[in-house]
Structure 1
Amino acid sequence: MTTVSSDVFPTRRIYSFLGPAGTFTEAALAQVPEARGQVWKPVNNVGEALSDVVEGRSDAAMIAIENSVDGGVSTAQDALATMPGLRIVGEYLVPVDFVLVAKPGATLADVKLVAAHPVAYAQCLRWLSREMPEHAHLPAASNVASAMGIIDGTSDADAAIAPPGILEHHDLELLAEHIGDNVNAVTRFVLVARTVAPPTPTGADKTSLIVELPTEYSGALMEMLEQFATRGINLSLLASRPIGDALGRYRFVVDADGHIADERMADALLGLRRFSPQVIFLGSYPRADRAIIRYSDRYSDEVFVEARDWLRGLLSGEPES
């Protein structure tokens, strides 16, 4: 997608993504039907992308949140925890493959310093350690930026880890391909907008939250997890991040199977709200894999509704049947 100035089409929606063109983030944005034909704005980092949304410069931002090799993307998780007014409205999966590129004429034997985004570097570390055990890593802002530094001479690196698509746009030497350590590697991206009402449940949904423990005491984490377990809710992600105000204080990033409109999920959120001093609802949205959520009949919406009706009857003095 060619990046277009927002001044040309002022009525079009603007989407921020980690640029420049050719990144995996752009590949994720290409999966969003409503983003096609709109303005795609490349930015330098996650914080800038989300600030664009909060401050109204963009309608939404695509950011990486998790990958199957390196786990959660901490910068994205921390930004979502500290920037109010944001809501995840969708998730997208992008298979991850990498190539090692350099200036034309270079060889693998010439490489001592490798430029790479930290997440990409982690996903290729075994290959790099095996093929170039004495190499050093130069962090880059994005997978494409690692290669662009070599092209424009602003990087001291001898080679760069980049997406395969980089070769379609620039004259680079392909030193090695398929260098990722896991052929099944996938990065999960989320589309983030300003706070809106959650979309209608599909039956294949996910709810994302950030939860702080009230105080440090034995069993506090277990008590938080029980809010989900006692309602039959599976967690697909549970990650801790330091709050930063004191040593040993953590918040938890949670992905739970289900939608806030589901009775069991709503009940769990009420339990979390009573338990935790800080619960951030990041959104309920369709799962990227569209897998229908399965759960026991005892956690169906009807069971929760019947239980509430039963309690109302007791309070009103209705005779029990």
Structure 2
Amino acid sequence: MIYTFLGPEGTFTEAALLKVPGAGDATRVPSTNVNEALDRVRLGTADAAMVPIENSVEGGVTATLDAISTGPELRIVREELVPITFVLVARPGTRLEDVRRIHTHGHAWAQCRAWATSKVPQAEYVPAPSTAAGALALLDASAQPGDAAICAPIVAEERPELEVLAEDIGDNSGAVTRFILVSRPAGLPPRTGADKTTVAVPLPEDHPGALMEILWQFASRGVNLSRIESRPTGEYLGHYFFSIDAEGHAEEARVADALAGLHRLSPQTRFLGSYRRADGVEPDVLPYNTDRAFDASRVWLQGVLGG
């Protein structure tokens, strides 16, 4: 197996990848951004890619939501949850009061903004492709006095050229990021009873109740949603698709029926995968929404029709 991930080495994304059985002994290739990682999979130079999709503080990672919902189809086959802690690093000899610029990923900055405003109010934020990339930029010849970075503790542990100025600087100590493992379309991972299904649903027509029609496909079959976000399609202003995580597996009758209803309503609906939930939580399914109830209703209807 060849895996790629949002790099460089030492990112939270690599930590998520290392949770996948066998990934530690496999070939791991860092990518500079989410699009590059997913394109490696589409082109066949990597078997799967690990990328971030959601953060408990900042919500969905828009780069991933957009990239997997357009272009050649991909499938989510696994998810991992990684607790997130941050440190502030700089070149040795830099003091906290010397910091003028902080390099890091946008989601990391959002999760440490209050700390930075309180402790280093003089510092400006400099966007980086990832937390690790921001930290490694401090080792470049272009780095300036007063540069610092917010990154994962593992980066500082593996790079003695960097000095930790502050530890555990996140504004929310319970922050967690969700990562997904993405591959080319193939058979679905087996149903476990604690699963999640992800779809991207374009709004077929903008009219009153259009979103309700989409949501009703799930509600009427007893399928709970754990995430729904709107994203622009990029075609023109006001044209959106909805990225949705639903509880359950496509092999379940209630979920399959909801997916069929979505496709009837919005034929451009994109199925992005059914896979085991990382938290292992099983949904509560009412008796009339179980597979047995769906099977019984089909048998009854066949009898009505004389089948």
Query: How far off its partner does 1:313 sit?
Result: 1.8
Q: Which residue of 2 aligns with 1:165?
A: 154
What secondary structure does 1:33 align onto?
coil
1:65 equivalent among 48, 53, 66: 53
2:97 equivalent among 101, 109, 115: 109
Q: Structure 2: how far apart are the matches of 1:37 and 1:106?
A: 37
Query: How far off its partner does 1:200 sit?
Result: 1.4
Matches within 5 A, 1:1-321: 13-156=1-144, 158-170=147-159, 171-316=161-306
What secondary structure does 1:305 align onto?
helix
Query: How far off its partner does 1:34 sit?
Result: 3.1
Counterpart residue identity of residue 196, structure 2: K
Query: How far off its partner does 1:213 sit?
Result: 1.4
Further displaced range: 86-95 or 289-298: 289-298
What secondary structure does 2:293 align onto?
helix
Query: How far off its partner does 1:311 sit?
Result: 1.7
The total of aligned residue pairs comes to: 305
Q: Structure 2: how far apart are the matches of 1:201 and 1:154?
A: 51
Is the 1:213–1:277 Cα contact (8 Å) retained in structure 2? no
Q: Structure 1: how far apart are the matches of 2:8 and 2:16?
A: 14
Q: Structure 1: how far apart are the matches of 2:171 and 2:266?
A: 39
Q: Structure 1: how far apart are the matches of 2:158 and 2:238?
A: 47
Counterpart residue identity of residue 237, structure 1: R
Q: Structure 2: how far apart are the matches of 1:153 and 1:305?
A: 67
Q: Structure 1: how far apart are the matches of 2:253 and 2:142?
A: 55
Query: How far off its partner does 1:153 sit?
Result: 2.8
Stretches of structure 1 lacking an aligned partner (at least 5 in a row): 1-12
Q: Structure 1: how far apart are the matches of 2:143 and 2:303?
A: 72
Root-mean-square deviation (CA), in Å? 1.1
Q: Structure 2: how far apart are the matches of 1:98 and 1:115?
A: 13
Is the 2:99–2:122 Cα contact (8 Å) retained in structure 1? no
Stretches of structure 2 lacking an aligned partner (at least 5 in a row): none
What secondary structure does 1:227 align onto?
helix
Q: Structure 2: how far apart are the matches of 1:191 and 1:147?
A: 25
Q: Structure 1: how far apart are the matches of 2:284 and 2:143?
A: 50
Q: Structure 2: how far apart are the matches of 1:133 and 1:280?
A: 44
Counterpart residue identity of residue 294, structure 1: D
Q: Structure 2: how far apart are the matches of 1:27 and 1:101?
A: 19
Query: How far off its partner does 1:281 sit?
Result: 0.4
What secondary structure does 2:305 align onto?
helix
TM-score (norm 2): 0.97
Q: Structure 2: how far apart are the matches of 1:147 and 1:313?
A: 68
Q: Structure 2: how far apart are the matches of 1:96 and 1:39?
A: 25
Query: How far off its partner does 1:315 sit?
Result: 2.0
Counterpart residue identity of residue 75, structure 1: A
